[in-house]
Amino acid sequence: MKILHTSDWHVGKVLKGQSRAEEHKQVLAGVIEIARRERPDLVVIAGDLYDTAAPTPEATRLVTRALTALRRTGADVVAIGGNHDNGPALDALRPWAEAAGITLRGGVREDPAEHVIDGTTADGERWRLAALPFLSQRYAVRAVEMYELTAAESTQTYADHLGRILARLTEGFDEPDRVHLVTAHLTVVGAATGGGERDAHTIMGYAVPASVFPGTAHYVALGHLHRAQRVQGPCPIRYSGAPLAVDFGEQENVPAVTLVEVTATTAARIREEPVTAATALRTVRGTLAQLAEITPPEGWLRVYVREQPRAGLREEVQQLLPRALEIRIDPELVPAPGSGTRVAQRSGRSPRQLFADYLDSRGHADEGVRELFDELLEEVDH
């Protein structure tokens, strides 16, 4: 069978005030075109269909139309909820999805059988997919309790809970003559972040070892980390990465989908297929004079200005580089904490004095900014 694995669409993303809606239309059209050309038996979307738990009607239309178009290629389509998605809202779409032949799993249900999906390809290859949406720490404990795997003790870690849940969902993976698959939205220890993920759900207690996946799985399709990559483990484990760079921290990523060919008796053959429709994200740096001389690269820009901060600097840069979405003083020019600058002490100091100390600590010598602060402070006081 052939599988198309994608994730982390983040439809509805706004980057520094710039809508990415048109880019998302082009990106998803590219994913659909790959599906039409490659004719996969199964399409797996491993979470974060949306960028926010309250997507706009436009974002909802785009996602539902993309899922429908993928289904019309003849593939079975399975999508799970990610940490950016509203799991209950996705589950509310299940009647529509089932009528369209699409499988949605927004959140974890009480019956573990609902997360085990069976299918057969047109050529008669049987497959089983364990589909685990994103679980926060508190819901991981609740899911373990629901499945009665063990008493949920306070000393158990998030990884313990995820391991027990996945063990329950993959209990039948020792059956021969069937392709065994897993999809989940989580962070695996040792994998590289892409740069735009939500930190609270990728660090600290949210990383799990690759050993939570069974060695009997033919392929594990992961979402959550935005960089396409293979993860070392007991079976083939892979992040497809995001098909669109959602933030400047991801500008070096290569947006792609993953294509997998596998049978019950042969190892998975895996390859990437680039998705190139999105506008590139680029970083440029220099003084105003240097920025005036460069030929701006195509794409949305992050600009690091090698000038001392002053009023109106942002506007000057924006005039030179109209596609600049993010403008910052070059970090190399900002004094490091404790580098000899005076640290403001709050007790007994006026707002003007505190603000002056802050400007001094940042190397900001423009009197116009101090005067503007005084004017604003007077307005507030009155």
Question: 25-48 pLDDT, tens per residue?
Answer: 999 999 999 999 999 999 999 999
Residues 250 and 355 in one domain: no
Residues 10 and 84 in one domain: yes
Residues 181 and 229 in one domain: yes
Domain that holds residue 36: 2-274
Comparison of pLDDT for 190 and 106, the residue scoring more: 106
Predicted confidence band of residue 359 (pLDDT cuts 50, 70, 90): confident
Predicted confidence band of residue 228 (pLDDT cuts 50, 70, 90): very high
In one letter, which amino acid is 128?
R
- Cα–Cα distance, 321 to 330 (Å, whole number): 16
Which range is least confidently modeled, 63-77, 203-217, 288-302?
203-217
Residues 288 and 354 in one domain: no
Mean pLDDT across the chain: 88
Whole-number Cα distances in Å, 371 to 353, 354, 378: 13, 14, 11
Give me the pLDDT at residue 355, please.
82
Predicted confidence band of residue 354 (pLDDT cuts 50, 70, 90): confident
- Which domain-ending residue is among 243, 274, 305? 274
Residues 244 and 353 in one domain: no
Residues 208 and 150 in one domain: yes
Residues 290 and 261 in one domain: no
| Whether pLDDT at 221 is above 50 | yes
Give me the pLDDT at residue 145, please.
64
**Structural domains counted in the chain:** 3
Predicted confidence band of residue 151 (pLDDT cuts 50, 70, 90): very low
- Which domain-ending residue is among 256, 274, 292? 274
Residues 374 and 255 in one domain: no
